[in-house]
A and B are shown apart, each in its own frame.
Chain A
Amino acid sequence: MSDIAERVKKIVVEHLGVEPEKVVEGANFIDDLGADSLDTVELVMAFEEEFNVEIPDDAAETIQTVGDAVKFLEKNSAA
């Protein structure tokens, strides 16, 4: 697992209070990890903070799974 994927996983575990084993690439934040719409807003804010990147609202809407987040951050993050 890449460094970015590890950091994403850590944030998701912390914010959603889920077992680390459940945070797999295909896991959907809402359907699989019990997040609600406000949780996903906060998750995106946490990614922005951790990776020092701005995630515009239209891009945030496409980040629905752990894999989506990792892919977006691998492409857009400098950190």
Chain B
Amino acid sequence: MRRVVVTGLGMVTPLGSGVEHVWSRLIAGDSGAAKVSSFETDDLACKIACQIPLGDGSDGTFNADAYVEAKEQRKVDPFIVYAMAAATQALDDADWHPKSHDDQCATGVLVGSGIGGIGGIYDASITLHEKGPRRVSPFFIPGRIINLASGQISIAHGLKGPNHAVVTACSTGAHAIGDAARLIAFGDADVMVAGGAESPVNRLSLAGFAACRALSTGFNEAPTKASRPYDKDRDGFVMGEGAGVVVLEEYEHAKARGAKIYAEVIGYGLSGDAYHITSPSPDGDGAYRCMTAAVKRAGISPDQIDYINAHGTSTPMGDELELKAVERLLGDSAAKASMSSTKSAIGHLLGAAGAVEAIFSILTIRDGVLPPTLNLDNPSVETSIDLVPHEAKRKRVDVALSNSFGFGGTNASLVMRRV
């Protein structure tokens, strides 16, 4: 099978726009959580979220106009705008702008979303109710459906290879990168633009996820304290928004054009819990099998893993189950591994989470620094694994693993290695 490497990175997150800006704030221990002010939250149980800082593009703020024309932004949900921005950043970073027919056909897109355009669906439902079907925009459907992130990216950059999308809730971003890597490994494409995007922060989503008892509701007056994975006071996740996109490339293709290579995707594992629609299986077996599959595919032993970017959403049940599954995987080598949850800083980006977190994992390999788990004051269980509480720390990382688990019991793990 052909080797697959990462040659470009792009992201828009609650810590800002652009990989280097977000990474430096993440390492500094900044939080993207705040009280929601863009819509009414008085009657909602959860009144906080991690939202993208909008602006003119200076100081790492996100300026959508720099990526998508204003009149086109109006036609699509924000998740598509975030995806297009992150894809442009990643392609620029990879310096890959295919012009020939052959290069265009060898480059595909696989960007997913967990929910897609729920904000626009909410608005159009109100229009339908209040004004009738003749007022529903012709852009309503193509601006909301999930694969239009991949579609719009392909149109903007002339990418004529495989055009695909993943929809696996909070595992979407990791599945997208893993599946795209396989398309390259199998020879369906030489380059893939892969990742996830999500724009769920609205009244409907906050009401829905709160009804599932998934959101933090006890920290409305202290938003930056709310996402606290592994801490005994954690009470649910904090919703985030944004996109993460990578450029994946066949190794020889990247080498031949002298591309900068961040890391190699050496392992990808998938599993299903077959247990419950929203709760992880109590034995953590789905997570364990998924990581085991990724490690086996990578051809490494678990003791070679230096850093794990946890799914770690800050829900009471999920965090400890993942921790147990990781301990089971690592066995005696648990004491030398480090694992942190960057959701403590950026919240849970749902379908974008796995892609953004894969990028963070890749950056630990590049920079030898581990992002912290914020707010981990009192771990709810004892573990020999270093959970990188409060502050970033230096550590050489040759192999990193990133976990993502989603509603429906869908699990994905990625393993990346220094090249």
Residues of chain A at the chain B interface (Cβ within 8 Å): 15-17, 38, 41-42, 45, 48-49, 54
The residue from B71, B134, B139 contacting A17, defined by CB atoms under 8 A apart: B71
Inter-chain contact B71/A42, CB cutoff 8 Å: no
Inter-chain contact A48/B134, CB cutoff 8 Å: yes
CB distance from A56 to the nearest CB of B (A): 10
Residues of A within 8 A of B43 (CB): none
Chain B's interface size range is: under 10
Q: Within 8 Å of chain A (Cβ to Cβ): is B69? A: yes
Inter-chain contact A38/B134, CB cutoff 8 Å: no
Residues of B within 8 A of A16 (CB): 71
Residues of A within 8 A of B137 (CB): 42, 45
A79 to B135 CA separation, bound complex (whole angstroms): 18
Main secondary structure on A side of the interface with B: helix
Residues of B within 8 A of A45 (CB): 134-135, 137-138
Main secondary structure on B side of the interface with A: loop
Residues of B within 8 A of A54 (CB): 134
Inter-chain contact B70/A49, CB cutoff 8 Å: no
A15 to B73 CA separation, bound complex (whole angstroms): 11
Residues of A within 8 A of B142 (CB): 38
Residues of B within 8 A of A15 (CB): 71
A17 to B135 CA separation, bound complex (whole angstroms): 20
Residues of A within 8 A of B70 (CB): 17
Residues of A within 8 A of B139 (CB): 38, 42
Residue from B135, B137, B138, B139 having most chain A Cβ neighbours under 10 A: B138
A17 to B71 CA separation, bound complex (whole angstroms): 6
Inter-chain contact A17/B138, CB cutoff 8 Å: no
Residues of B within 8 A of A42 (CB): 137-139
A21 to B137 CA separation, bound complex (whole angstroms): 26
* A/B interface sample: 14 pairs, CB < 8 A: A15-B71, A16-B71, A17-B69, A17-B71, A38-B138, A38-B142, A42-B137, A42-B138, A45-B134, A45-B135, A45-B137, A45-B138, A48-B135, A49-B135
